[in-house]
A and B are shown apart, each in its own frame.
Chain A
Amino acid sequence: MTAEEVATTLRSGGPFIPRGGGTKATWGLPTEGTELDLRGLDRIVAVDAGDMVCVVEAGVRLVDLQARLAEDRLALMLDPADGSQATVGGVLATNACGPLRHRYGKPRDLVLGAQFVLTDGTIARSGGRVVKNVAGYDIARLLCGSLGTLAVLCEVALRLHPLPARRRTVVAQATNPSDAARAARALAEAPLRAEAVEVAWPERVVWATFAGEGVLPGVEAEAPALPPLCLESGALLGFGVPTTATAALLALADATRTVIRLRAGVGVGEARTLDDEAFAAGVRTLGGHVSPRRDTTVGYERDPVSLDLMRAVKARLDPDDRLSPGRLWPVG
């Protein structure tokens, strides 16, 4: 599969829904169209160990890329809880994150450049292959989290990090929401910077990993084995809350029969809930927001002027609304 073939397909009609491993196919509002399976874009184009940059096609599975990078003691510091099928393109298009978000940011923070195709068949690039670059609009970052609505990612350049020589995990069991919040904050503010600070609720587990030269050899605790949220039933929501709202969020989870995976130092996470309306309303009361991911009718609100700008960008890049129509806002 090549970008030219993607362009030919896109010109042929639609609407199309770009997809990788299908692990996040329901994220966003409902959409309809023909699936455009990009798993044929499966080449790791370059791993430049000295520059800590790689160039890969969008359909490469994240696990396969990580295995290749580990040979050079490098890693792409993204660890979304999607199982083994997630592709690099899908992770970027959804801005999906896992615990490593705490230290390394989200996909848009690690992408350096992209080649992509518009619905009119235009094949274009933005950014480059170097870690520092301000030439032109940063369209590669704009495409991150755009849920396949603006363009089809074909190839991306990514910033890599060294695999830490030493990593240690600290696990604590909390008795109530405020204890959990206090423990998470203490871990996030430790002088030796954590790679991850997580709260799992209602399991009441607070855990953190630390990495670096200052991590002394010793007994290594295992990261807790927690069931991945996406395999269970109930509505799935992404959320963001102020980091000071951790205790209130966990209390809200108890009140709404919600399972939470929280990046406590960042204030983002995933929720599986049996009462999505009440959970979403509660999160908004805390000053946060939710993003629909699966089996939910919860939408989202943004200020009307910025929504107009989003619509204008979509209209310029995909004038006939042939890429994942309705994903960002209801059609019409």
Chain B
Amino acid sequence: MTLEAIVGVDHVLTTPAALAAYACDGLTSHRVQPQAVVLPATTDEVAAVVRWCRATGTPWVARGAGTGLSGGALPVAEGVVIGLARMRAIVSIDTANERITVQSGVTNLDVTRAVAADGLYYPPDPSSQQVCTIGGNVAENSGGAHCLKHGFTTHHVVAATFVTATGEVARLGSAVADPPGLDLLAVVIGSEGTLGIVTEVTLRLTRAPERVETLLAAFPSTDAAGEAVAAIIGAGVVPAAIEMMDRLTIEAAEAAVHAGYPTCEALLLIEIDGGADDVAATTRLVTDSVLAAGASETRTASTAEERARMWRGRKAAFAAMGRVSPDYYVQDGVIPRTRLAAVLRGIRALETSSGLRIGNVFHAGDGNLHPLVLYDRAVAGEAERASDVAAAILDLCLDAGGSITGEHGVGHDKACAMARMFTGADLTVMDRVRGAFDPTGLANPGKLLPTPRLCGEVPGFYRAHPTELAGLAERL
């Protein structure tokens, strides 16, 4: 059996021009050309391709729309890419039970579009939602601006059709809540294509709120904006979203899409959803909180058009950076939200010491930072310096008790950084879970967990240093 016999000759790509389109995902600084790209159309075809890979010892990398920002879909040179873009059927909709089943190649936004007329929606909303696929969302446990109140991908997936690394087909979870047995979906979601391939997903839908208000608040400093976030949360309010932008990103977004933002050092976008009475009362409470924290101006948007305009600048912020810098690196770190002001000061210090500008746009409500480190690869040494600054930002996050990734994933980019967040024992247990699902080691090798080959002298798998064994030093 050949790959062409499984999926058809038109759906196996091997020419250099075709392969080049798959050489990277959203982390474009890393590129690897695979041996072939295979585009199956059914679960059975995916399973047959995986069995072919197993029989031939070929590593494989599953890929949705390729919008991931951590190189999770970076090909392996001696392997194949299994692209799921042709699997874009909506399989079934059950509005009464608030469920939809879709193939993995369906885009995030198309899920909501399919059920919007029934007053339902799918809450996780990564910035790439117009193009990113549900399969990719499951692999990355994707978040988005509105996850503060409504949860991440893992809170909305109830069942999946799953091709195992040995090429069998399992049905994980259940459309009906609380199936007995182990919750394997808990680890499959966010496993970045290292455990198997999800080909069909059943999602829990949410009823669209009766009313949504978006509040924009301008601040004279990022510190004041950070304090306002703490004040809102402290008041017992859980908004649907709290986003922060600093001066550099506000100016870039203004230049790009003319969102009409005020001139200020920092702004918050706060969205409140729910029943009409609840939203009205909560908006008053939040407005009082931000004014008390030093907001110089507040604006509210109630209609869909007004809200879309208010969000336009935020959603365009990453792309708008292209206007102010030839290159930038998007970091994705998490801190306890009470440490926001302190960590932002740390980032400012890095800006001063490195000479590189850093824009800040992030999900302030859940402490998920997206510092944008601006650089010019044409200037000798700048790319390396940007990389060092990005790594130093992660250290700030870890020192504050946070995480190396909130939603972009570990992928290729941060596999080595895993050893900074977890002990060797932690990583060994994760590797045991990986081995349970993928005894072949062919599923997205080199991603998520550190390997000695990738990470050189600092592999994740901790071995006690001789000084520790001798009791002369201890690992903190």
Residues of A within 8 A of B (CB): 48-53, 73, 95, 105-106, 108-109, 118, 122-126, 128-139, 141-142, 144-146, 149-150, 161-165, 189-193, 212-216, 238-244, 266-268, 287-292, 300, 302-303, 305-310, 312-317, 328
Residues of B within 8 A of A (CB): 96-98, 140-141, 143, 147-148, 151-152, 154-155, 162, 164, 168-172, 174-184, 186-187, 189-191, 207, 209-210, 230, 233-234, 236-238, 274-282, 285, 334-338, 363, 366-368, 401-410, 414, 418, 421-423, 425-430, 432-437, 439, 448-449
Query: Would you mind naming 22 contact pairs between A and B with Cβ atoms under 8 Å apart?
Result: A50-B338, A95-B178, A106-B178, A109-B155, A125-B426, A131-B148, A131-B366, A133-B334, A134-B408, A134-B409, A136-B422, A136-B448, A137-B191, A139-B430, A142-B184, A213-B277, A238-B180, A268-B178, A305-B170, A305-B171, A312-B436, A312-B439
- B210 cross-chain contacts in A, Cβ below 8 A: 191
Least distance between B277 CB and chain A CB atoms (Å): 4
The total number of A-B Cβ pairs within 8 Å is: 266
CB of A141 within 8 A of CB of B274, answer no
CB of A145 within 8 A of CB of B182, answer yes
Choose from A53, A137, A244 the contact partner of B187 (Cβ within 8 Å). A137
Closest to B279 in A: A214
CB of B230 within 8 A of CB of A128, answer no
- B404 cross-chain contacts in A, Cβ below 8 A: 135
Given A48-B336, A122-B428, A126-B426, A242 and B405 touching (CB < 8 A)?
Answer: no
CB of B183 within 8 A of CB of A241, answer no
CB of A306 within 8 A of CB of B433, answer no
Closest to A72 in B: B234
CB of A214 within 8 A of CB of B184, answer no
- A53 cross-chain contacts in B, Cβ below 8 A: 336
Knowing that A108-B183, A128-B421, A240-B177 touch, tell me 6 more A-B residue pairs with CB under 8 angstroms: A128-B401, A132-B363, A192-B275, A213-B281, A238-B180, A315-B436
Interface of A is mostly: loop
Q: How far is the CA of A302 from the CA of B164 in the complex (A)?
A: 16
Given A138-B154, A214-B281, A316-B432, A305 and B164 touching (CB < 8 A)?
Answer: yes
Least distance between B433 CB and chain A CB atoms (Å): 5
- A142 cross-chain contacts in B, Cβ below 8 A: 182-184, 186-187, 433
CB of B207 within 8 A of CB of A134, answer no
CB of B422 within 8 A of CB of A214, answer no
- A150 cross-chain contacts in B, Cβ below 8 A: 182
Q: Which of A52, A163, A214 lies at the interface centre, i.e. has the most chain B CB atoms within 10 A of its CB?
A: A214
Q: How far is the CA of A108 from the CA of B98 in the complex (A)?
A: 20
Least distance between B98 CB and chain A CB atoms (Å): 7
Choose from B180, B189, B335, B426 the contact partner of A302 (Cβ within 8 Å). B180
Closest to B175 in A: A242
Closest to A263 in B: B177
Q: How far is the CA of A242 from the CA of B158 in the complex (A)?
A: 13
